[in-house]
Each structure stands twice: as C-alpha cells, then as structure tokens.
Amino acid sequence: MVFEDEAGFSMTPPQAKTWGRRGRTPVVRVRGRSRRRISIAALTCYKPGERSRLIYRPRNDDDRRDGRKSFSWRDYRDLLIAAHQQFGDPIVLVWDNLNVHKAAGLREFAASRDWLTIYYLPPYAPDLNPVEGIWSLLRRGWLSNVAFSTPEHLIRRVRRGLRHIQYHPGLIDGCLAETGLTINP
C-alpha cells in the first residue's frame, strides 16, 4: 500500500521552541521574507513482511518546466513509475483529493496500468494520510529553528531530514500507526 502527498516549504523557518521572561510574550524576528519555495512529493510504501519505505522527489522554483510551481500530473506519473520499478507489482495507491491527482492524463495512465489501483481518501482528512506525519517530523526536526540562507541550504536540509527518515523505517511505521489505519494482505 502506498500513500502520497505533496508539501511546500519556504525559506522562512518554522519555530519549534522559544523562551521569554515570565509574563512577556516572546517575539522571534526573522529577517526578510522569501517567495522562494521547494515542493516535495513523497510516497510512504508499506508491504506486509517487508520494511516500510519512503520515496520522494523535490522540486524548487527553478524547476518550472511547464510554468507550474507545484507538481504536474507528469511528475506524479514519473514518481509512480519509479515506485513500480523499485517495488514491482501490484501497487495500491491511496491519494488525497488534490486536483492534479484527478487530472485526465493521470487517470488515463492509471487505467492503462494493470499493476496500479488507486483509492482516494475522504475530502479534508489529512489525519488519515501517513505522509502528513512525515511532513510533521521534518518541520519539527530538521527544519525548525533554522534561518535558511539560500534555497540550496533549504534543499540540503530537507534532503538530509528525509534521508534520515528513509533509514529509520520505524518512523515511517509510526506515521501509519498515527493514522489508525492498518495494512492487511
């Protein structure tokens, strides 16, 4: 079973912790606001009897081949092909209701592949998607309390955090457990 989601990260750092004197609200100042972003599509992959996996693809503002800031249906198609090459048949994909996931080109691609079955999560149900837990781990850990100096600094930090999660399948399993869903063969 494979769950997919996309997230965007900007150069403005999320805050994890701060402190202040008793009775005074702490104020954290961040210099400048950047419109630069990085978008990431990720798949959490679960197969009974095997370790859980994470596949991801980043895309920054400079990668706009088709004028889009986020992923196109072709990017998702390529990510699914990479997952199929890595895991083989069959793939049961669980998606949220992002409009790109329901694009005509992607529906045609999925219909022509007998190894791919797609189910959609209910609308507005991020608590059922384990990839949301991956984004939470990333924001609370590797991206918190860091002022990024360049887009490349942000990309390096995101990749480092995702690589750490990849090498710790227990974290990926924990994200599935947090949803309350189970994988039954």
Residue 17, SS3 per DSSP: coil
Residue 127 has pLDDT above 80, yes or no: yes
Answer for the pair 86, 57: CB distance below 8 angstroms, yes or no. no
**Of 164, 135, 160, 175, which is closest to residue 9 (Cα–Cα)?**
135
Q: At what angle do helices 130-140 and 151-166 cross, to 10 degrees?
A: 120
45 in any annotated domain: yes
pLDDT at 148: 78
67 inside domain: yes
Count of domains for the chain: 1
Diameter of the chain measured on Cα atoms: 62
Question: What is the residue range of 114's domain?
Answer: 2-6+36-179
Please give the share of the chain, as a percent, with pLDDT higher than 90.
38
What residue type is assigned to position 162 of the chain? L
Considering the domain boundaries, does residue 12 fall inside one? no
Residue 27 lies in a domain: no
- Within-domain flag for 11: no
Mean pLDDT of 24-33: 64
Residue 44 lies in a domain: yes
Check which CATH number belongs to the domain holding 70 and give it: 3.30.420.10
Crossing angle of the two packed helices 104-111 and 73-87, in degrees rounded to 10: 20
How much is the pLDDT for 163? 95
Residue 13 lies in a domain: no
In this prediction, residues 113-129 reach a mean pLDDT of 90
